[in-house]
Amino acid sequence: MIATTTASTTALTAGERDGILFIREEERMAEDLYLELYNIVKLSIFLSVADSEQIHMDSVAILMDRYGLEDPVRDGDGVYANETLQKMYDDLLASGEKSPEDALKAAALVEETSVHDLEVQIINTEKPDIRSVYGGLLMGSEKHLRSFARALEELGVEYSPQLLSREEYDKIVKA
């Protein structure tokens, strides 16, 4: 018998499967939102972070391939299978298109949400490969949150965390 490096979906719990699919689509939503916000407010930070989001999506795609999962990402920017992510995209685009400040606040909230969601997913799996990918994504999301917070500071605006505790937010931003 030949050994294979491809795992099957039976090797995942339902929570792990759902988590991988959700994180994949969440990363896509972030990329789409940042590209659209760039088109509106023309801040270059959105292009550089969107590039990182594509790398994040690619990392999750490796897990999907490994575990034989069907990709929830479909053609068409701004369209998501997950209703929560669809609403988040729609709401944040509507608020972010008002001004550069609002765009940066919307992006900071996306990264806060990503940090929270990744922390939950890391807790909910014991699989080293999944934890490793999520850990890398978490470091990236924390970096993006710092970048958006700094960009807001440059506009004279202090971002107030919406999802993370002030203590966790400050720890991330001051790292």
Output b/e per residue, 83-92; b: 16+ Cβ within 10 A.
eebeebbeeb
Top pLDDT among 3 and 173 is at 173
Is the predicted pLDDT of residue 1 greater than 70, yes or no? Answer: no
Model confidence pLDDT, tens digit, residues 70-107: 999 987 889 999 999 999 999 999 999 999 999 999 99
Whole-number pLDDT of residue 3:
36
Q: Judge if pTM exceeds 0.95.
A: no
Per domain, the residue ranges of the chain are 13-70+78-173
- Share of the chain residues as helix, strand and coil, in percent rounded to the nearest 5: 75, 0, 25
What per-residue confidence (pLDDT) applies to 143?
98
Q: What confidence score (pLDDT) does residue 77 get?
A: 85
Residue 4 confidence (pLDDT) above 60: no
Joined tokens for residue 79: 């369209």
Contact in structure between 151 and 49 (CB atoms under 8 Å): no
Task: Give the model confidence (pLDDT) of 148-169 as tens digits.
Answer: 999 999 999 999 999 999 999 9
CB 40 within 8 A of CB 103: yes
Contacts of 172 (CB under 8 A, 6+ apart): 115, 142, 145, 146, 164
pLDDT, residue 8, reads 52
Would you say residue 59 has pLDDT above 60? Answer: yes
- What distance separates the 2 farthest-apart alpha carbons in the chain? 64
Mean pLDDT of the chain: 94
CATH superfamily of the 13-70+78-173 domain: Ferritin, core subunit, four-helix bundle (1.20.1260.10)
